Structure 1
Amino acid sequence: MEALVVLFGLGVIVYLAVTVFRRASRPPPEIRLDQTPPPPAPAPPAPAPPASIGEAAPSPPPPAPFSERTAHPAPSGQILSGRAYVVDGDTLFGIDAPEMNHPFGKRAKWAMFELCKNQIVTAEVTSIDDHGRTVAICSLSDGRDLSAELVKQGLALDWPKYSGGLYRALETPDARRKLWLADARQKGWMHLWDKFDAQQEAKAAR
Structure 2
Amino acid sequence: MNHPHGRKAKSALIALCRGQRITAEFTGLDVHGRTVARCHLPDGRDLSAEMVKLGLALDWPKHSGGAYRDLEPPDARKKLWLADARQKGRMDVWERFEASARERAARR
**TM > 0.5 between the two?**
yes
CA apart distance, 1:169: 0.7
- Structure 2 residue aligned with 1:197: 95
The structure richer in helix per residue is: 2
Q: Which runs of 5+ in 1 are unaligned?
A: 1-99, 182-195, 202-206
- Are 2:64 and 1:166 aligned? no
- Structure 1 residue aligned with 2:44: 143
Check conservation: 1:151, 1:167, Cα contact below 8 A.
Answer: yes
CA apart distance, 1:165: 1.3
- Structure 1 residue aligned with 2:54: 153
Larger RCO: 1 or 2 (CA < 8 Å, sep 6+): 1
Q: Identity across aligned pairs (percent)?
A: 65
- Measure, in 2, the Cα distance between the counterparts of 1:158 and 1:104: 16
- Structure 2 residue aligned with 1:111: 12
CA apart distance, 1:130: 2.6
- Measure, in 2, the Cα distance between the counterparts of 1:139 and 1:126: 13
The residue identity in structure 2 corresponding to 1:157 is: L
How many residues are treated as equivalent by the alignment?
89
Q: CA RMSD in A?
A: 2.5
CA apart distance, 1:175: 1.4
Which of 107, 116, 121 pairs up with 2:22? 121
Per-residue CA deviations over 1:134-160 (Å, capped at 9, x if unaligned) read 111000110000000000000001112
TM-score (norm 1): 0.39
Q: Which runs of 4+ in 1 moved over 3 A?
A: 178-181, 198-201
